Structure 1
């Protein structure tokens, strides 16, 4: 287990630890026929275009108290978008930055200390040409240097997307020295990424951890607990299908979710 950091560490110069959060979300639906698949892609391009993603990343930067230095964004044809944002530190009141494990806030001011940091997002809408399954994936990376952890933005990011599956990786790299010359390879207490999630998120998702404490690597996967077929139908509802066909579609969707969650292909249901 990691040692508790209950007292402030008096550092020799700047805290140069690098803390990186990789946040991958998957939104799955069933779109029968070419017309519904085209409508699904059009919806994704409207809801998750570069302009909206830029606004989400801008909110994240404001949330952790960063200055935005530069923004590069691009929409792609036939689908997808990317945004890269360079951020830097701004003056902080360091006594207001805490180390307590807990969910980060939704958009409100949190002061931070950042330098040589960035936030990126890339989207990957795709659909199965025969099976009717359409999966939207967004990859978000928040990397910061200094005292603040990008985990502070996690709660906001999860609430910004409607996600069936969320896969998160958090890593602390490098080291910083205290005034006695001792190296510190992490400067805040963490047992699990789950400790930074709000109660409503924990109630909504089933979660699994794979953590390597001695390497400061933390991995959490989440999948929705409840399944309502109507929430996954694009263009039509389950009442538009026979009970048998609706059951078949439900099996397809559940298998897609489990294959992504476990990271492997599964045998087809009979």
Structure 2
């Protein structure tokens, strides 16, 4: 309790984290592209995504109230978890319970590029918590749970709470950048930039993998089977695709 703020009533701040990852792969033929999408669909089906989100829920100290999951045709999956952070029962005769409810959701979007033979797998995760809990502590786990080539993250603290003297508090923890919550060894693997609006408690970070090992991006193919000029073309296409996703605009 030593480091906690003394509040009047409950902590009414809402903390929302939006975490998006992109995994890019080279699949030349229509068959390979379909196989890649099917592979991703199987690897990241609703059952596995549920396991990732329930682990995340445990990490932030919340309790699962309800799980809703769905796999889609022809591809994709969604999971929504309603979670409770704490329950407080006032003393006395009044039978009143205060329950802080939060949620975490995940959606997947496999797709492929018709011209460059590149397939992209996107995962969107949104975590909304109320009170003292912040979802930022789960970032390393989320990054490692997926093949993350490009990552975009948004964090916002909304609302206000009050201390025991009645003073409004619009933030209850120190933060200058989302990168402060990512392990240094993870950050070293990525180029990262920030766009922060401190006056509005808005924080944005983008990350793109620095080193590309072409073999890791080939589906059902060995890099040594490709001619040097073909390897160079694929590498250029991969880099262009990643730069445009990272920049969130069409550049080339």
1:17 maps to which of 10, 13, 17: 13
1:115 Cα shift? 1.6
Structure 1 contact 65–90 (Cα < 8 Å) conserved: no
Partner of 1:142: 127
Structure 2 contact 149–208 (Cα < 8 Å) conserved: yes
The alignment status of 1:49 with 2:45, answered yes or no, reads: yes
2:144 maps to which of 118, 143, 159: 159
Partner of 1:33: 29
Which structure dedicates a bigger proportion of its chain to strand? 2
Query: Take 1:209 and 1:160, find their aligned partners in 2: how far apart are those partners?
Result: 23
1:175 maps to which of 156, 160, 166: 160
Partner of 2:189: 204
Contiguous gaps of at least 5 residues in structure 1: 1-5, 93-113
Q: TM-score, normalised by structure 1?
A: 0.86
Partner of 1:247: 232
Structure 2 contact 85–100 (Cα < 8 Å) conserved: yes
Query: Take 1:79 and 1:7, find their aligned partners in 2: how far apart are those partners?
Result: 46
Query: Take 2:167 and 2:3, find their aligned partners in 1: how far apart are those partners?
Result: 15
Contiguous gaps of at least 5 residues in structure 2: 89-98
Structure 1 runs of 4+ with >6 Å offset: none
* Root mean square deviation, CA, Å: 1.6
Query: Take 1:91 and 1:62, find their aligned partners in 2: how far apart are those partners?
Result: 16
List per-residue Cα deviations over 1:239-259 (Å, max 9, x = no partner).
222111111111111000000
